[in-house]
Structure 1
Amino acid sequence: MIDVLKRLLTESIETEVLEFKTARQSFDKHTLGKYFSALSNEASLSNKSYAWLIFGVNDDHDIVGTQITEQTLNKYKLEIKSNTSPMLNFTNIHRVDVEGKQVLMFQIPSALKGVPTAWKGHYYGRDGESLGALNMEELERIKRQNIAFDWSAKTVDNAEIKDLSTEAIALAREQFLIKNPNLVTEINSWDDTKFLNKAKITINGKITTTAILLLGKPESEHFINPAVAKISWILKDRDNLEKDYEHFGCPLLANIDNVYAKIRNLKYRYLPEETLFPEETNQFDPYIIREALNNCIVHQDYTLGGKINVVEREDGVLTFVNSGGFIPESIEKVLEVDAPETCYRNPFLASAMVNLGMIDTIGSGIKKMFILQKDKFFPLPIYNLGDDQVKVEIIGKVLDMNYARRLAQSKNDLTLQEIVLLDKVAKRLPLLGTEIKALRRKGLIEGRKPNFHISSSIAASTGGKSTYIKLKGIDNDYCQKMILDFLKKFESGRRQDFEEMLLDKLPDALNKQQKRNKVRNNLQSLKKQKLIEPHGKLWKMSKPKN
């Protein structure tokens, strides 16, 4: 990275994809977001994979150093992730030491093909060194990229219908007939060439990359090289060690069932005392497995040359991973809008998969996955977006202290969006300010940032009273009463004595250091009230003044 920095410093002027800032102590987050949007869009327009924003370098390209901390960088990452659309983040942040001075190199990814990067709803660009709104011509140029290039619609030279699997074509006919029962007479009269054209899998009889992916013989994969038509199923134990695996290639239409058959969809048995639950259920709903798998196929960025991974863990977690960024703004936006996307990475492939009944384009697939998990009281799907991949984690069991699964049945006034936020609380994930306000407004959470927990009213309605008490713990008044009772009985005590007495009674939402801090704060509070006083390392009751 030092060599990269030296090369960037030799640039005579800042360019549309390179910006230097002094930023000795900090940098305004809103301005950082504008630069992220601008540099991301300019990288796309320049046909580059990324752009650079460098902190710790002045306008004369002299290294002055920056003291921005890792904690501040984490805040920057959260800010960028929360306010860019589609949701993006830094590809990497490199901290480089040059002659004792720290330089931060922010690597900013290019905008997705056909999708300009926005910051808080506005598109930014660069004109030389100037930062401003992305002009209309540039905005349209980025949007046209997706129209100009659809990898899935490419025709394959030298490939013929004989390179497709006859069994896969027969299966495609069955699927197409289910989707179009009114065409039964016509379909039976079509030869394979006409059927493939009508189903929009080939173009005027020419074999497409979509045709190879979905219907190609195993040995036909070389036609789409360097793209990979492969799904890997991997079984791991509870310690994340690999126990088994199998690879599935062309034709993907037929092999989806084979991947599905490998997943050990075990029965999950609820605890007997949870009388509201059925006695047992499948860990993973079949719809969720197929929807997640088909989404991987249709949204995969095949130009990156990666394969699709399905990782099954023996502790009841199923993970789907595909290459390529997430085109919608965010999962929250998908659940909110509940409408089809205006653009797809692989439009031709998406159309073919719709015609074969593999996916729909009405925008309800992801939302249905969330509802199915919610109705089983399981954690909601977890989407991890970044590093040019989409990772979806499905948990096939009830987690400890996870109230959100039960709320759907007992609280009919909750929206799916509110349940998603409560799910974040249960998983101890950070909440945005607007999310905190929304949950507080309905009295759904208690506690102080970042240690929120489900409110007592919710706990009572879901039978989680004991867990709520553990989360909430004793309050300061009761904590101080216990300290005073201890000193009245034993006359003196060390801080360690009070910690041993109180730590397991303080809120489970706090970590060990936070609990120790709470004990210390209560001792200081009693001291200020002149109720106790220190004697070296011992604490004693204050002596009454004459």
Structure 2
Amino acid sequence: MIRLKVFISSVQKEMRSERIAIGAFLSTDDFLRECTVPRIFEEYPQPLFPNPKAYLDLLRQCQIYLLLVGSQYGIDAGDGLSATHEEYRLAQELKLPTLICIKGARRVKREQAVNAFLKEIETAKHTYSRFENEAQLLDIVGKRLREHIEITYSTVPLKAQIEQSALTHQSASEFERGMLDAMTYEDLDPELMLDLTASAEERDKERILADEIPRLLLSRGYLWKDVDTLRPTVAGALLLARKPGMALPQARVQMDAFPGTDRNAEALDSEIFDAPLSKAVERAVAFIRRNTPKPLIVKGLKRVKTETYPAEVLREVVVNAVAHREYSDRGIKISIEVFADRLVVSSPGLPPGGQSVGILSSGHARPRARNPLVVQGLSWLELMDERGSGIPRMARILEQAGHPAPLFRIDHDCLVVEIRPATDRGSESSSETAVKKERNGVEQSTRDVILEEVRSSGRITTRICVQRLGIPRTTAKRFLTDLVKEGLLIIEGSGSMTSYRPSGPMVGQ
């Protein structure tokens, strides 16, 4: 798959929000995120030996030049030209494919130097497009880049990718791209920033330099530069801030465990989490597990303790809540309530894209993301799998483990998901058993299913286990780790590029 670096050029302050929007768009569009890598120049932190033309060095590493022109020209960067004008001339010297977008109609009043710049562009016979708002800009950029990739590289988006892009564009909220001024780069978790950056860039963590991370996260819409201070956007704070509640009180998660079947009695356990979304998910799952009984089941000849709810289901329902909630409402937190007879998760906001709870319950809902930048970040952090697969997989695991189907309802503009314990606890019904399969009439264990896939395909990944084989992520990781320890599999790559292959000839090959 091609990976074209797109250099996004403009006067920094005037077109700041448009630059963030394009970086986020290229990172979340189903087709373009596979084919392009956004690049935005910001000199942060200041190097010990400053390079006044570092932005031109970055441009030389790119394959596409995208220019945004507004009403301001920018300061003189030398020889009477602004940095943006220098970038344009270098792009022409390098013969880079050039996409030019001009904000506003011809009648818009612009600085004299901008008019001279536009005349130079017209003299060079460059075609350009005009836009009035960010929605129009993203439509233009998406269409022109897809055309260029199709003509130049004979690569076209799948029909499903085009449809998904349209659905995301319809459902996406601009709130997650908002620029927070109450937090700085120092409020973010360095380890999470490295994990997300390495996965997004498809590079080993060891090969990413610390001073690269700010620029790479800024290019994808997770950071913005406020004069000389780097700050997170809303999506950046939710995913990467140690305590996102400092600026976004609605990001906190309220947890309560009650002794009975209603809220009349005092809660046995309560907690409010203020943590980056990935860690909030882990803490929420741990809270639920410690506040639910461990029923005894028959496993072989022994009676052993098991979980009330499959761990993969808990993770899925919490991840969906934090990924798809309406974050623009500062007054409401996600609520997770553990009762004696059910688990209730309430997420602020109606289902994205106006979908009904009936469609969600059926498992036929089209994937729509209210917060695509958050969703993509969670995917890069390996908390989300293929879009649209979560609810059907959750329902399947519950059914196979003997649980009633999950219930969906709307309550005071919140989407509520209700899960109840299994109706039959007399025998093994864990999520591990739920992924056993029958092939040629013979039941196979999870281990056998994984090994058969390796025999037939020559390799396997955690994603293949989840999406193709229907194995819960945590279960898949455990079995893959065990098979490596047994010497049957070898690890290749790292991060999102990790895969496993046979250590030698396998029986049956």
TM-score of the superposed pair, with normalisation by structure 1:
0.40
Greater relative contact order (Cα 8 A, min sep 6): structure 1 or 2? 2
Larger Rg: 1
